[in-house]
Structures are given as structure tokens and as C-alpha cells.
């Protein structure tokens, strides 16, 4: 990772922070882009851009261009930004479906579309998206979320086919990630069976490494310990 410039969306959440820390520890330069505000000063190794609405294509493009300008290049894009909603189809509010599509599909689309020219210029460009095992087989109350994450899976495959030989595009498909929010919402679950953010970060780091140059269009399940 030494010297690589990695842009992470949704970077100020649990997984994003863990991934950034691991990337920085391995010598990467990291840009954090998030809708949440931040006042962390920019440095040669790290840049945080808060208050960015990635569902807006113009804001996404400005943020990505700012990252490339600050570091002089962009080598990898990791799309962690997204959202979750639990709602049965019988109780469905169309606003929930639109929100899930915007948070999961549009953020990934806008960031990827904005990053592609920079990633092509890198010569070793990488995109890694965060999908979901719940989009492979959806459970009760998961329809809107699963449908939007399935869109991320298909977007990953299409981008991989369109940019094969120039950019690798892959997705990780975690089961439940062990975060404070998930623990609070599912207090009776067996947390030991969940995916630790560190485990997921390791898989993403592999996919953006030189060792994964021959891997593209893959949807990789990450299920944690069983």
C-alpha cells in the first residue's frame, strides 16, 4: 500500500475508520469522504471531506476531484457509504425504497463515475464496493435494502466488464458487521458470529493491492466466524 492514494466513502463510520487506520498503517495516503461533518486538518497522508452528499453527482465529482488534486493522483476507491432500513413489503413506504436506492446505489454510482478518469490515469486503478449477503438471499423486512444492495452487485459486475484491463472492480458481501449500532439494535444476537470490521478491512485491502491485479468482477462473501 506504500504511497497509494485511497478514497473511502462513508469513511467516518465504524468500518470506514477501521479501514482508514489499517490503510494508513500500511503506508497508504487516505481521503475520507462522508456526509457527516469533520474539522480534521488536511495533511500529506490524510484528507477528510465532510458534509458531502454523494447522492448528488455534482457534489461527488467535486469531492473526488479535490482528493485527486490534493494528493496528485487517485489509485483506489472504496465505496462504504450506504444505509439500512428494516420494513416489510406490506408496510412499505415508497420513500424507504427511494432512500435505500439513493444511499446504496447512487452513492456508489456517483463516486465511481467521478473516480474513473483518475483511476484509469493511475494505471493500477481499483474500485471495491460494499454489497451484502442479505442481497443474495433476502429475509423478512429486508426487501428495500436487499434490492438496493443487489443493484450494487450488478453495478459492480457491469463496471468490471466495461473497464476490464484498465480498472479492477470488485465487491465484498458481508453478513452482519459487528458495529455498536448493530449490537444495540440486535442485543440478543451472537456477536461472535458476526464479521469484525478488521476482517472485512483485510479483504478490501487485498482487493486493492497489486496481488489482486487479476481479480475483477468478483462478489466475495465475507461471513465471519461460524
Q: Which residues are catalytic?
A: 145
Distance separating alpha carbons of residues 40 and 153, to the nearest angstrom: 33
The grid coordinates listed for 91 are 408496510
Distance separating alpha carbons of residues 117 and 108, to the nearest angstrom: 15
The grid coordinates listed for 171 are 465487491
Q: Please choose, from the candidates 157, 153, 46, 35, the residue with its C-alpha nearest in 3D space to the C-alpha of residue 99.
A: 35
Amino acid at each position: 500500500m506504500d504511497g497509494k492514494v485511497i478514497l473511502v466513502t462513508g469513511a467516518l463510520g465504524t468500518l470506514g475508520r477501521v479501514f482508514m487506520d489499517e490503510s494508513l498503517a500500511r503506508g497508504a495516503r487516505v481521503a475520507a469522504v462522508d456526509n457527516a461533518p469533520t474539522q480534521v486538518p488536511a495533511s500529506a497522508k490524510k484528507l477528510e471531506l465532510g458534509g458531502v452528499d454523494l447522492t448528488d453527482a455534482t457534489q461527488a465529482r467535486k469531492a473526488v476531484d479535490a482528493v485527486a488534486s490534493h494528493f496528485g493522483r487517485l489509485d483506489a476507491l472504496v465505496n462504504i457509504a450506504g444505509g439500512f432500513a428494516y420494513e416489510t413489503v406490506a408496510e412499505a413506504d415508497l420513500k424507504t425504497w427511494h432512500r435505500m436506492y439513493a444511499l446504496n446505489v447512487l452513492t456508489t454510482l456517483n463516486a465511481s463515475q467521478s473516480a474513473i478518469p483518475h483511476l484509469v490515469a493511475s494505471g493500477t486503478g481499483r474500485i471495491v464496493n460494499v454489497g451484502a449477503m442479505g442481497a443474495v438471499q433476502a429475509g423478512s423486512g429486508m426487501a428495500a435494502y436487499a434490492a438496493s444492495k443487489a443493484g450494487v452487485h450488478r453495478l459492480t459486475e457491469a463496471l468490471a466488464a466495461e473497464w476490464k484491463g484498465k480498472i479492477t472492480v470488485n465487491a465484498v458481501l458481508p453478513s452482519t458487521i459487528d458495529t455498536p449500532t448493530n449490537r444495540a439494535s440486535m442485543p440478543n444476537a451472537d456477536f461472535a458470529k458476526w464479521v469484525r470490521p478488521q476482517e472485512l478491512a483485510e479483504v478490501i485491502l487485498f482487493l486493492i493491492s497489486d496481488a489482486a491485479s487479476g481479480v475483477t468482477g468478483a462478489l466475495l462473501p465475507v461471513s465471519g466466524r461460524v
